[in-house]
Structure 1
Amino acid sequence: MAKVHVCNVLVLDNPSPFLNPFQFEITFECIEDLAEDLEWKIIYVGSAESEEYDQILDTVYVGPVPEGRHMFVFQADPPDPSRIPEADLVGVTVVLLTCSYRASEFIRVGYYINNSYQDPELQENPPKKPIFEKIQRSIMASNPRVTKFKINWDNNNETTATSMSAENSASSAFATTVSH
């Protein structure tokens, strides 16, 4: 049984310019005291073609965590555009919010992102070299993809199987297209 339940994630400052920080207000509940920290990460998927373009935007450790309900705002700098293929800068991608305990990921919340020009002229005739200051990031906050994993919460050698729905995996998130 999971000892941590994510109750709510609010996407703040959405939509926003591409170069603005990501901000998530996370509310979670612990059903008992945790002796060790929770490790939260924000990961930006730079390209559907390869994981090599994924960027860990930030990692924060929270804990030790007492039993009860907790809330914090997790803010991370935007991705480094120079590490994203130019063809993938505008269009649909994904941001992942993950949480691990004792190096085992137990939840992943994924959101589709649409990066687009707001100027109709730039939409019709996108520049060869992206103009980051004119790209808007819109996170599809109302439709997160939540994947939960079974982990060993106790400090013993018992192994626990990891379960993951293929429908909610990060790689298959790109198989679905988002229309506006």
Structure 2
Amino acid sequence: MNRFVLRADPPKFDDIPPEDFILTVIMLKAFYKDQEFIRIGYYVQNTIPEEEGDNPDPSKIGRQILTEDTTVHQSQIKWD
């Protein structure tokens, strides 16, 4: 089994239109020599506390990764 640590900057909250914010996606793609061999997608449900209104504080947003709806796409590649 291989393991890795993924570190990424959070999304820019101001770049996400409010109507698109309730459901977002995490997409992981893995490549070997410029060939994509796996793609894994997770839906993320975001909840904004009612008291936050139209301009919520990003630190108060609840996020839940919906692992039951994970999508996995594997591709055959040349491993040489």
1:150 is matched with which residue? 76
In 1, the alpha carbon distance for the partners of 2:19 and 2:52 equals 11
Aligned amino acid, residue 71 of structure 2? R
The higher relative CO (CA closer than 8 Å, separation ≥ 6) is in 2
2:67 is matched with which residue? 141
User: What's the TM-score, normalizing by structure 2?
Assistant: 0.80
CA distances 1:70-89 after superposition (whole Å, capped 9, x unpaired): 22221222111122223222
Q: After the TM superposition, which residues 155-170 of structure 1 pair with which residues of structure 2 at under 5 Å, given as runs?
A: none
User: What's the TM-score, normalizing by structure 1?
Assistant: 0.40
Structure 2: which 5+ residue stretches go unaligned?
none
Count of residues in correspondence between the two structures: 80
Structure 1: which 5+ residue stretches go unaligned?
1-68, 155-180
Other structure's SS at 2:67 match = coil
Other structure's SS at 1:130 match = coil
Query: Greater Rg, structure 1 or structure 2?
Result: 1
1:87 pairs with 2:19? yes
